[in-house]
Amino acid sequence: MKKVLGLIFTLSLVLVLTACGGSSDKASSSKDDNKLVVGASNTPHAQILEQAKPILKEKGIDLKIVKYTDYVMPNKALDEGDLDANYFQHKPYLELEEKEKGYKFADVGAIHIEPMGLYSKKVKNIKDLKDGAQVLLSNSKSDWPRVIGIFVDNGLLTLKDGVKPQDATFDDIKDNPKNLKFKYDFDPAYLMTAYNNEEGDVVAINSNFVVDQGLNPSKDAIAIESKDSPYANIVVTTEKKKDDKNIKELVKVLHSKEIQDYITKEWDGAVVPVDK
């Protein structure tokens, strides 16, 4: 009897351990070669991926989209193997994340640009900002030169000699005739709330958050980043997966005329497709 009970216990333990091992949902441990797990911001990234999903399905690739509302978790999840790739960030942010956190990632293709915009419920034009006006922006250092560049382009700031706009920090500002006050310690996801609550005089917000709330950057911003901005949003994967055939097919589909036409029509200039 003891031997029988021992055998039953051993078999039960094996079944439990087998079940636990098989329940892992990490992308890197998936046995399904046709499954592609991609993390993305809700808007516009996840929406664009939804359009690519049936096209990829025809090619035998099952795309699973995991949505995120912040800029931290998609890279963390990719590094931990929960994702095959992510699509939410631009190159300067990726480089900063790699430097600060030691990630070993690969940029496998730029898909679109979301122009950074300035929003205000207190003035209609950036030129109307009063002396000492407070400007709110994210704590993401990669956003700072983009915001500074908008003010430079509109004649409200100048930079020290030799400073490239894409490298500018607040210490590089030479002239600030309106004595603008920059506050840059906000989580990017909070900035729409700050705008709606009329905090500060102007709020710098990335287009994906604005579009998600039903606004159109090209119409509702008091000033917007130029369309030749180098901050294109990219598909990112790990160094080990940069040559993965499914990821290459994903980028190819996102660069297709069908998807690029969708981006242009859906967002009317608020999101601009690129093919590089």
Are residues 41 and 108 both part of a single domain?
yes
How far is CA 240 from each of CA 74, 83, 94, 99, 112, rounded to the nearest angstrom?
Answer: 17, 13, 17, 18, 24
Are residues 84 and 164 both part of a single domain?
no
Q: At 5, list the tokens.
A: 């009970």
Task: In whole angstroms, give the CA distance from residue 151 to residue 176.
Answer: 10
Looking at residue 270, the DSSP 8-state letter turns out to be S
Q: Give the predicted TM-score (pTM) of the model.
A: 0.73
What is the full per-residue pLDDT of the chain (276 aa) written as tens digits?
444 445 444 444 434 333 333 333 466 444 467 999 999 999 999 999 999 999 999 999 999 999 999 999 999 999 999 999 999 999 999 999 999 999 999 999 999 998 899 999 999 999 999 999 999 999 999 899 999 999 999 999 999 999 988 889 999 999 999 999 999 999 999 999 999 999 999 999 988 889 888 898 889 999 999 767 788 999 999 999 999 999 999 999 999 999 999 999 999 878 989 876
Are residues 76 and 132 both part of a single domain?
no
User: Using only C-alpha atoms, what is the Rg of the chain?
Assistant: 23
Provide DSSP, 71-107. Answer: SSHHHHHHHTTS-SEEEEEEHHHHHHHHHHH---EEE
**Preceding amide of 44 cis, omega within 30:** yes
Are residues 102 and 129 both part of a single domain?
no
CATH number of the domain enclosing 242 = 3.40.190.10
Are residues 71 and 142 both part of a single domain?
no
Residue 57: domain span: 35-114+231-273
79 in any annotated domain: yes
Are residues 210 and 173 both part of a single domain?
yes
